Amino acid sequence: MKRVIIIGASSGMGMEVAKLYLDRGYRVGVAARREDRLMALKQLAPDRVVTARIDVTDDDATTQLRELIERLGGMDLFFYSSGVGKQNRSLAADIELGTVNTNAMGFTRMIGEAYRYFADRGEGHIAAITSIAGTKGLGPAPSYSATKAMQNVYLQALEQQAHSRGLKIHFTDIRPGFVDTDLLNDNFHYPMMLRPERVARHIVNAIDHQRHVAVVDWRYRILTALWRRLPRPLWRRLKL
């Protein structure tokens, strides 16, 4: 029986991905800051779901992850779905620093621990939700787009390192567009909004095919391909 651990499974894409892997018969370890929100998943398959409270910004989060892996009986796939993001046009310091703490420090802490586990084991698969926001600096959300770019590069660097070390660790960088989750619950109208259930199916398919980078969906693949080509002087004049 295959085993997956999902960080950030209390709602949105993390929860929907957990449901899909339960449907496939996996043993699923789920973690979030609020463990009570994971009970709905536990009730779906009490004998195959293991829950844990993990806050990725805590210094002992890696210890908690190792304990969850042990309780699950091992780990074949690590799926990271945790993160924060807010528009911050006034550049409020607490928002900027809080975003960096979660999306950069927390991401590095947890992805790094999963990598070390798989390096010791000799194989594994790390998949993480980053964002299309990492492809350009977005004025309304500076620290969010910057930390997402960091996540993209960090996964790429680990992939290169694993290959040079001869480790059979696969990486999937998942870059969704706007998804209708609690993260975007800020009374702002976002275009081309995606449903988390649909995005979850794209995610699992990308992991199945060991895709290196998966932009969800086709509209955002076109959008990011276009804005990557915009010269810097033109990009900075755009009103977002």
Q: Supply the pLDDT for residue 237.
A: 85
CA atoms within a 13 Å half-sphere pointing along the CA-CB vector of 27: 14
Q: Per residue of the chain (240 residues), give pLDDT as tens.
A: 899 999 999 888 999 999 999 999 999 999 998 888 899 999 999 999 999 999 999 999 999 999 999 999 999 999 999 998 888 899 999 999 999 999 999 999 999 999 999 999 999 999 999 998 888 888 888 999 999 999 999 999 999 999 999 999 999 999 998 776 555 555 655 666 788 899 999 999 999 999 999 998 888 889 888 888 888 888 888 887
Q: Are 59 and 77 in contact (CB under 8 A)?
A: no
Residue found by looking up tokens 């947890």 in the block: 110
Per-residue model confidence (pLDDT) at position 6: 98
pLDDT (0 to 100) of residue 239: 81
pTM assigned to the model:
0.92
Q: pLDDT at position 189, please?
A: 57
CB 129 within 8 A of CB 80: yes
Place of tokens 């780990």: 75
Q: Which domains does the chain have, with CATH numbers?
A: 3-235 (3.40.50.720)
| Residues β-bridged to residue 52 | 31
pLDDT of residue 223: 87
Beta bridge partners of 174: 129, 214
Give burial (CB, 10 Å; 0-12/13-18/19+) of 164.
exposed
Strands (E), 120-167: 123-129
The per-residue pLDDT for 93 is 96
pLDDT recorded at residue 191: 64
